[in-house]
């Protein structure tokens, strides 16, 4: 049964972080709008509001289900799995924690990554896709699980020596010691990482030694600053957890400990 369109999300109290669902779904709405090459004014006219309100909806102030469904309809997102997924997420009762196993979860992660001002990525199993060379093998355990929903949001551009500002890669030591299924590509991949790390405009790359015992609970963790708010994402096998507010702060401390223990990529 579909969620009634009049469903409302409680606005945050003064000084309170936005609900995780509002921040994540808002980023998704903005990413899909950009993919459709529509301006904020185009969207505002269609749902009879101001461009300023559309901007607020996209940056964490989404409080009515009808606003989200109205924009999705405008953008041509009419398949039932996508609509049901968004409605399900917006009904999440825990304000600062969002469990996302729903169809289209990869689009929502891509949307957050695209719009993040800063991002820390901690990988425990493989070189993150944003820093891989084209021949680096993506083994089954490191591939993104797929669902039947069309991919509508492109991933953030791969890191180069010129576009890595604000990005920190944390690699567990085992990432470098565990050879890929095609060991012959390892030298080229490590050379690429060295090139990224040595550039003043590239990302910061740190290796977290085993003896630090700072091991992420998920295969990937992302610490983002998204529209001025803290957002932490844990990627598990086939689902994501998003955190804002105090929930995000606790996990930020973990990422900060990993950064403090890390050594610069050789």
Tell me the pLDDT tens digit for each residue of 163-175.
999 999 999 999 8
Q: What is the pLDDT of residue 41?
A: 94
Tell me the pLDDT tens digit for each residue of 120-145.
999 988 899 899 998 887 654 445 55
Tell me the pLDDT tens digit for each residue of 36-85.
999 999 999 888 899 999 999 999 999 999 999 999 999 999 888 889 99
8 pLDDT higher than 90: no
pTM, full prediction: 0.92
Q: What is the pLDDT of residue 139?
A: 58
**Contact (CB, 8 A) for 235 and 221:** yes
Percent of the chain with pLDDT over 70: 94
Tell me the pLDDT tens digit for each residue of 190-241.
999 999 999 999 999 999 999 999 988 888 999 999 999 999 999 988 789 9
Q: What is the pLDDT of residue 233?
A: 98
Q: What is the pLDDT of residue 79?
A: 86
4 pLDDT higher than 80: no
Q: Which pairs from 209-216 meet CB under 8 Å and 24+ separation? A: 209/173, 209/261, 209/263, 210/172, 210/173, 210/174, 212/258, 212/261, 212/262, 214/254, 214/257, 214/258, 214/261, 215/124, 215/172, 216/122, 216/123, 216/124, 216/172, 216/254, 216/258
Phi and psi (nearest 5°) for 105?
A: -60, -30
């Amino acid at each position: 049964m579909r969620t009634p369109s009049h469903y409302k999300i409680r606005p945050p109290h003064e000084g309170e972080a936005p609900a995780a669902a509002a921040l994540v779904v808002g980023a998704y709405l903005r990413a899909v709008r950009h993919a459709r090459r529509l301006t904020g004014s185009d969207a505002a006219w269609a749902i009879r509001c101001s461009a300023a309100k559309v901007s607020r909806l996209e940056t964490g102030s989404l409080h009515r289900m009808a606003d989200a469904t109205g924009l999705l309809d405008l953008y041509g997102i009419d398949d039932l799995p996508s609509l049901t997924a968004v409605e399900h997420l917006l009904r999440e009762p825990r304000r600062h924690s969002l469990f996302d196993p729903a169809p289209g979860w990869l689009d929502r992660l891509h949307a957050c990554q695209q719009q993040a001002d800063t991002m820390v990525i901690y990988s425990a199993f493989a070189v993150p896709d944003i820093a891989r060379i084209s021949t680096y093998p993506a083994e089954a355990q490191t591939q993104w699980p797929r669902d039947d929903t069309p991919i509508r949001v492109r991933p953030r551009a791969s890191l180069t020596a010129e576009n890595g500002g604000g990005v920190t890669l944390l690699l567990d030591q085992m990432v470098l010691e565990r050879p890929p299924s095609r060991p012959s590509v390892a030298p080229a991949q490590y050379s690429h990482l060295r090139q990224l790390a040595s550039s003043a405009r590239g990302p910061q790359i740190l290796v977290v030694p085993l003896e630090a015992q700072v091991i992420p609970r998920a295969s990937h963790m992302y610490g983002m600053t998204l529209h001025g708010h803290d957002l932490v994402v844990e990627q598990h096998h086939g689902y994501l957890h998003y955190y804002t507010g105090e929930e995000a702060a606790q996990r930020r401390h973990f990422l900060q400990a990993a950064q403090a223990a890390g050594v610069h990529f050789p």
